[in-house]
Amino acid sequence: MFLVAKPRHWQRELGPSLLALFAGSLITLSLAPYDIWPAAILSCCLYMALLRDCPVRLAVWRGWLFGVGMFGTGISWVYVSIHEHGHASVLLALSLTTLFCAAMALLHALFAWVYVRFLRHLMAGMLLGFPALWVLFEWLRSWFLTGFPWLYIGYSTLDTWAQGWVPVIGVFGVSLLCAFSASCIYLAYMRRHVQAYLVYGTMIASIWLIGWQLQQAKWVAAASATPLSVGIVQPNIPQELKWQREYYEPTLALYQSMTEPLLGMDIILWPESAIPNYYQRSGEFLLPLASKARKQGSALIIGIPWQVEGSPNYHNSIVAMGNGSGQYHKQRLVPFGEYVPLESLLRGLIAFFNLPMSGFSPGPANQQPILAHDFRLSPFICYEIVYPELVRKYAQQADLMITISNDSWFGSSIGPLQHLQMARMRALENGRYLIRGTNNGISAIIDEHGTVLTQSPQFERLNLVGEAQVMLGATPYSRIGSLPVIVLCWVLLGLVLVAGSLGFKLQHG
């Protein structure tokens, strides 16, 4: 008789650990550019299964691995900016990217600890507690340490029936519905009898059918039968040349030659930091062009650094000229790209911590819209567009939204495609057209339904021409924001804990 050795602990845990990594990576597959939306729901189902019976210590480990799978695949584009544009070696870029993803994954380790410690032993904890906790952690990522609101599962609902909910409850609300759908599926699978299939199946069907019906609602309406003509300049200037002194004059000549054919259009949009100089030092070039734009009825809206008078500070800004007026200074800055945390310690340590124009100061809160003709535009720069509440705050007082970016930092990775998807969600949430101008693509005009009406290819020099409509009215989300959903999640958690204290335990089997 042969004695069979018992598998060691790490061997028993290898399968669940790999499954946790896989489950986390499914979040990425549910989002752009893959758009396999059921993957988000499957990811949550697998996550619940992985956390069902394991001790707390293993739950934290599996939660962290889930986060590693999620962030390691979903924000791997960080490597491109560190290596290709930050001039870090492959090894250093990989190390920094890995460290960043591993640190972000700690939030899922905390999620797993809270869920296992307080919720998983309750029926209500699995049905309501899991989705509520999921959304609260997404919300946490929108502001913790200035925020990194990326990879929300609500974005997977674009172009599905569930997107009808978006103008009502926003991205956090549809994330809640996705996670709740996953809870229903998992509980139906766990109970495995006809009654459970009917009850949970009815819940899921109701969510998606109501979403389909909500798509027929008309929350906003066009202000005029005549749309605005829009021209977007996409110069496709290589990032490695953008800030070189010898390329400055060719940059001005390029913008001049690309803008002149667009003069006469209502709005002409340049990308983020289009001119690699301060606005205050660029008058010799900009003022004659703005005068031409004014004479031909165009509002020229440009991205350009802005020097603060009497101060060493400067902003990443948008300026409206010609038949436009006003300035906007970016409020949510990108760490390391636009400012360096712990600057006195890190600045100059490696090339990545000394990128060009990485000393911006944030602009003030409560800035006014900029004007194009008599229309109010809410402006956003780069990844400001991914902050739901920031966008809602300014969209409330605007006729149109604009966003400018320089996604050259992320090359041919999935980052720019995810960025566009989130911009679409902001247009749908707020019922406003969104005009998006980028250096190398994807530039786009997005309507109030989040539909891309026209877009540019990436890595091509061109002018994108289209039309945008001024909308009247407001969506329910634009009026009330994310607060009701966040409060609901806290209330659900409170009710679950009360149910637990009253002894409503989940009976397995």
Q: Which residues participate in catalysis according to the annotation?
A: 272, 330, 382
* CA-wise closest residue to 288 among 263, 313, 307: 263
Whether the CB-CB separation of 307 and 314 falls below 8 Å is answered with yes
Contact 404, 267 (CB under 8 A): no
Of 446, 324, 469, nearest to 391 by C-alpha is: 446
CA Rg value for the chain: 25
- DSSP string of 66-111? HHHHHHHHHTTTHHHIIIIIT---HHHHHHHHHHHHHHHHHHHHHH
The residues with which 233 forms a beta bridge, in sequence order, are 463
Distances, alpha carbon 454 to alpha carbons 191, 215, 226, 230, 464, in Å: 48, 21, 18, 11, 8
> CA angle 163-167-169, nearest 5°?
90
Q: How is residue 9 written in tokens? A: 């602990």
Distance (Å, rounded) from C-alpha 354 to C-alpha 7? Answer: 50
Give the separation between CA 166 and CA 188, rounded to whole angstroms. 26
Of 378, 498, 481, 446, give the one whose Cα is nearest residue 124. 498
What residue type is 29 in one-letter code? Answer: L
**Rounded Cα gap, residues 417 and 432, in angstroms:** 20
The DSSP secondary structure of 297-342, one letter per residue, reads: T-EEEEEEEEEPTTSS-EEEEEEEEESEE-EEE--SPPBTTTB-TT
